[in-house]
A = this chain, B = another copy of it.
Amino acid sequence: MQDFKYYAPTEVVFGPKSESQTGKMVKKYGGNKVLIHYGGSSAERSGLLQKICDSLDAEGIKYVKLGGVVPNPRVSLVRKGVELCRKENVDFILAVGGGSVIDSAKAMSLGVLYKGDVWDFYIRKTFEKACLPIACVLTIPAAGSEMSDGSVITNDENGLKKDYCINEFRCKFAIMNPERTYSLPAWQTSCGAVDMMMHTMERYFSKDDDMDITDNIAEALLRTVMNSVKIVLREPENYRHRAQLMWAGSVAHNDLTGCGTTGDWATHNLEHELSGMFDVSHGAGLAAIWGSWARYVMHENITRFARFAVNVMGVPCDFNDAEATALEGIRRTEQFFASIGMPTNIHDLIGKDITDAQIEEMADKCSNGNTSTVGGLKVLKRDDMIAIYKMAK
């Protein structure tokens, strides 16, 4: 068992009328002038932005707005936001949207107080931590950014996708209304479910076999997500199961499912190159390569893969053959992904064959030109990455 720190200070306000508390919460956490950061026009059309503005008005809190965040959020917009915050003397950033918007808001919150360019953080040129307070009104459950310490930003000049993680990034509060997710398309709903499953599984598939409470909670969470996503795909306005998914997305990534375990994260690293190269949805990319990763690394801890098969995927345990049990678990996971419309190989993900040259390029990037590794359960070098990408073709 690993020593651990657990820190999840975000105040969650969960329920259908939670948005009306936005103004009060901003006030509680000391905001006087807010930047409302969001994505496309759906936040406007749905009336959500107006509701938030009304709530801020009611508390006498001033605000400016900046929309336009896209999936795989761009550093160019972050820079624009930093300028706006400085010009308008913003002291609080409120993200209205999903993981991309929150990650973009986190980057801005750092950039405002930093003299150099905000990309410096993401390439480890600086390690400062001072940032404006951030909070969010969550509309897309998946990324878990509403309670996490991380931000992933894409540099639109060179296509690099990089992360920065500090506790100061944790949202002061997160407003969650499951009704806001009724309109999420099936594809995005499924991508989100895969993402939250993978946040749990990246922590679960670990060298460590002795943190029972964390493992048991992780398995409970995975079963819940698998059940609820099936139901909301049939019934998009099912409050109960939209709520399960929304809360599961937060719990999956607030570190609770990693207390005492080392974790792995190779699938996330391998996927970042896929979405960097092909601009595909993160969740779909994860589904496309997980099975290949699992088959490649499972012998590092075959009992854990067997346990997953039995406790999460409902495979009858073959007590004489852990490998057969493990493999059936991987197979059923892929079948589950397919059943919610997700790809389980790269061809289905990008709609065409991937070339060997593209695989080499991704492995180069993922290994920083064969100078670094990814993974915890099995440490993967460039050659391993190529092997997994090829298995997933």
Contact partners of A2 in chain B: CB under 8 A:
15
- Whether the Cβ atoms of B9 and A14 lie closer than 8 Å is no
A217 at the B interface (CB under 8 A): yes
CA distance A14 to B8 in the complex (A): 14
Closest B-chain residue to A227, C-beta based?
B212
- Whether the Cβ atoms of B251 and A213 lie closer than 8 Å is yes
1/0 per residue, CB under 8 A from B, across A245-288: the answer is 00110010000100110000000000000000000000000000
CA distance A98 to B101 in the complex (A): 42
1/0 per residue, CB under 8 A from B, across A138-158: the answer is 000000000000000000000
- Whether the Cβ atoms of A16 and B3 lie closer than 8 Å is yes
Contact partners of A219 in chain B: CB under 8 A:
220
Q: Known contacts A247-B259, A260-B243; decide if A14 and B18 are in contact (CB<8 Å).
A: no
A125 at the B interface (CB under 8 A): no
Give me 6 A-to-B residue pairs in the complex whose CB atoms sit less than 8 angstroms apart, sorted by A's number: A5-B13, A6-B12, A212-B244, A213-B244, A214-B247, A251-B256
- Whether the Cβ atoms of A223 and B227 lie closer than 8 Å is no
CA distance A244 to B212 in the complex (A): 7
- Whether the Cβ atoms of A240 and B9 lie closer than 8 Å is no
A263 to chain B, nearest CB (A): 16
Number of A residues, CB within 8 Å of B: 42
Give me the interface of A with B, judged by CB distance under 8 Å: 1-9, 11-18, 210-214, 216-217, 219-221, 223-224, 227-228, 239-241, 243-244, 247-248, 251, 256, 259-260
CA distance A91 to B1 in the complex (A): 35
Closest B-chain residue to A223, C-beta based?
B216
Closest B-chain residue to A11, C-beta based?
B7
Q: Known contacts A217-B221, A220-B220; decide if A260 and B14 are in contact (CB<8 Å).
A: yes
Contact partners of A221 in chain B: CB under 8 A:
213, 216-217
Most chain B CB neighbours (cut-off 10 Å) among A1, A213, A219 = A213
Closest B-chain residue to A252, C-beta based?
B213
- Whether the Cβ atoms of B1 and A11 lie closer than 8 Å is no
Contact partners of A216 in chain B: CB under 8 A:
220-221, 223-224
- Whether the Cβ atoms of B213 and A247 lie closer than 8 Å is yes
Contact partners of A251 in chain B: CB under 8 A:
213, 217, 256
Contact partners of A212 in chain B: CB under 8 A:
224, 227-228, 240-241, 244
